[in-house]
Chains A and B, each alone.
Chain A
Amino acid sequence: MTRRDANWLIAKAGASVAGQAFLSSWLASAHEMNEGAPAEPDRWINYKPQFFSPEEFAILDRFTTLLIPTDETPGAREAHVAQFIDFIVFSSREYSPETQVEWRKAMDWLRTRHFDEQLMGKMSEPEHEGHHVFQTMKQLAVYGFYTSRIGLIENLEYKGVSYYTSFPACTHPEHRNV
């Protein structure tokens, strides 16, 4: 979590009493995680969408926060997943223009159907006509979240890419018999 993110969260969560309690427990738990992992470069705070229109970006933001919400741990919003997706789709223009076509179609589909939480639920079902749109968007959103510092280090508590003196051996007798 960057200082700017923290400021943003404090401003948001501090607005209510419940929010304050949530924030203090959350910040305390952050200390138990892989603190040695480097900070995420500060590239999203002032990011302006380059591919999606403001209306599309609002839909994208809604989709990603429904997919990976902020609950006991930070979610897609704090990890700037919508911004990441905009950057990736924008950067597809040179070697993967088909990606841009796919996302524009996905956005048209969602916009004409007035995307909301209810539609999200329906689209998540494999039989639904919008399931391929759901999967396309989910795939990149999940990638964006779990490759961010918030997703990888704070949520998943990934321990690699650090310096250790030994590799952790299994110490569970129950794993020796299946």
Chain B
Amino acid sequence: MTLAQAGYKVALIEAGSSISPAKDFHHRLPYQLEFRGMGQPGLLRKHFRGSTEYNYRIMIDDRENPYTTAVDKPFSWSRSRVLGGRTLHWARASDRMSDFEFKAASRDGYGEDWPISYKDVAPYYDRVERFIGVSGAAADLPQFPDGSFLPAMPLNCAETIFKAACGKLGIPVTPRRVAQLTRTLNGRPPCHYCGNCINGCDVNAMFNTVGTTLPPALKTGNVTVLCDSVVSHVLMNEENRASGVRYIERFSQKSFEVSARVVILAGSSLENTRLLLLSQNGGLANSSGVLGHYLMDQVGGAGVTGYLPPLRGSAIRNDDGKAGGLQIPNFNNIGKSRAAKFIRGYGMSASGGAGMFPAFAPSLPGFGSDYKKQVKALYPAYARVWMSGGEMLAQKENFVELDPVVRDKWGIPALKIHCTHSDNDRAVYADFFDRAQEIFHAAKGEITSAKPLMGVPGGLIHEVGTCRMGDDPTKSVLNSFCQTHDVKNLYVFGGGCFVTTGDKHPTLTMMALTARGCDHLIDAVRRSEI
């Protein structure tokens, strides 16, 4: 959008199909679906990772787009190939990272600092928030910087109880900050609280690129959208400049070339890195040798679940409607307090009430009328505290490479992913479990879940790194504007540039860094540097 509005001709090349939220997304209850939301038994688990019957048609089919891992190192890579990609069904949480994250290495000695600090990104966070619309409230916490918010969504009963419990423990909380409108913004209507968000918003009240950034870009007349076009590699010329890309038409398998003055990769963290690896032997823009390395996801897993007794048997309300909750920002290793067992930190979320499916019902003992009545009584009292994202340390040994054998449907080599958790990652998760129990107990809640299992890497769908930014070209692929050190007219936008995961949801930072990178690009072109 920024580039098109600045007058540049943009070819937007998308591997998946086109989509129209108004036409393709609508409210659906489980009984309106053939398999009630689970999909044909086994199909989604085996081939459409992380998806549901509601949205799997816009997710990736692993049979067409395989990736590989070592047998004992599972990595869950949940992908979407459609115009708008994962913005169509993301969780919408939009937090700003802080200098506790950008400059973490200087504080605790592990790894590298980012080449930027909060003050470099803050104006771009402002710009992005004002445009996409983030509802939230100021919390006045240095580790959880405030932004330009639309009014926050109110807390429901369970969240109010958890807020009181956290207050008792001295833990600050705030309504979850979400890219979901609470009033009309830039022609988009406010949220209608259907709770259908991750199955696609029919009115674009939640941010997605198709309904938010693409329309103003198309309005300039400067953008050509090419869907069903699978990019296979970046083309280079003899002057070490990117001259365009080659793509394969998805259905005909025919190959085409597009030439360009500047090439931007923005196809998700790992797809971008895959393209760089595919574009030159040993990887394009890889003089540092770190391309593909320092892969991270955030730490997470199952949460702590149970009941809040005051809500037992209460009137059913639309608790499911905002699909958000209460945010409990990280409080570890902040200021003078130092967690002894681990470095860095994690964020938590809490919510409860009448969700769609009574998740507790299958394991609630018994049967018959009593059982049925108990399910009904507990339905509005169900509650959970979960990890919204814990920092996973950047380790060089976690990396991606091209699989020597496996190729996708278009003959393009697939990625092989190597990723495991560190002891610190495990310590972070263990601490979350203790704290979540404490919060539950302070709320006088009854915990019914077993000790939760830490998820496999990739499970949070916050995969970042493998194309890290830095000031030193011998230790990083990109500079702080997401421009490759080696090829001046090649930019890589998305999560690949992350130096650390931090404990915030990553998307808002990706958007802010993209806006910042676009400004840099426009400036560089004007000054004829690229």
Contact = CB atoms under 8 A, between A and B. Distances in A.
Interface of A: 37-38, 40-41, 66-69, 71, 73, 75, 84, 88-89, 91-92, 94-96, 99, 120, 124, 126, 135, 138-139, 142-144, 146-149, 152-153, 155-170, 172, 174-178
Contacts of A142: 361-362
A149 B31 CA distance: 6
B356 A92 contact: no
Contacts of A163: 192-194
Contacts of A178: 161, 164-165, 168, 442-444
B36 interface: yes
Q: Lowest 6 CB-CB distances: which A-B pairs, in order?
A: A95-B42, A96-B42, A169-B154, A160-B320, A147-B30, A170-B160
B170 interface: no
Contacts, number: 175
Given A94-B43, A169-B155, A175-B160, A156 B367 contact: no
Interface in B122-152: none
Interface of B: 27-32, 35-38, 40-43, 45-47, 153-157, 159-161, 163-165, 168, 191-196, 310, 316-322, 354, 356-358, 361-362, 365-369, 371-372, 375-376, 379, 442-444
A156 B316 contact: yes
A167 B321 contact: yes
B366 to A, nearest CB: 6
Contacts of B321: 159-160, 164, 167-168
B157 A172 contact: yes
A176 B160 contact: yes
B29 A37 contact: yes
Contacts of A75: 372
Given A158-B320, A163-B192, A167-B156, 13 more contacts: A67-B371, A89-B41, A91-B35, A92-B41, A152-B356, A156-B358, A158-B316, A160-B321, A161-B27, A161-B356, A167-B321, A170-B157, A178-B442
A170 B194 contact: no
A163 B321 CA distance: 9
B32 A170 contact: no
Nearest to A79: B31
A174 B40 CA distance: 45
B31 A159 contact: no
A167 B194 contact: no
B324 to A, nearest CB: 9
Contacts of A66: 367-368
A41 B28 CA distance: 12
28 contacts: A40-B32, A41-B31, A66-B367, A67-B371, A69-B368, A91-B35, A91-B41, A95-B42, A139-B362, A143-B38, A146-B358, A153-B29, A160-B195, A160-B318, A161-B320, A162-B27, A162-B318, A163-B194, A164-B194, A165-B192, A166-B193, A167-B191, A167-B321, A170-B157, A170-B159, A172-B157, A174-B310, A178-B442
B188 to A, nearest CB: 16
Contacts of A139: 362
Majority-rule SS of B interface residues:
loop
Nearest to B368: A69
Nearest to B155: A170
B316 A175 contact: no
B320 A41 contact: no
Contact of A94 (B29, B40, B45, B354): B40
B41 A149 contact: no
Contacts of A153: 29
A67 B370 CA distance: 10
B28 A161 contact: yes
Contacts of A166: 154, 193
Contacts of B193: 163-164, 166-167
A50 to B, nearest CB: 14
Nearest to B29: A161
A175 B40 contact: no
A152 B31 contact: yes
B43 A95 contact: yes
A88 B41 contact: yes
Nearest to B192: A163
Given A156-B379, A176-B160, A68 B372 contact: yes
A133 to B, nearest CB: 13
B33 to A, nearest CB: 9
Given A96-B41, A160-B321, A161-B196, A147 B36 contact: yes
A159 B36 contact: no
A166 B193 CA distance: 7
Nearest to A178: B164
Most buried by B among A84, A96, A159, A161: A161
A40 B375 CA distance: 22
B323 to A, nearest CB: 9
Nearest to A174: B310
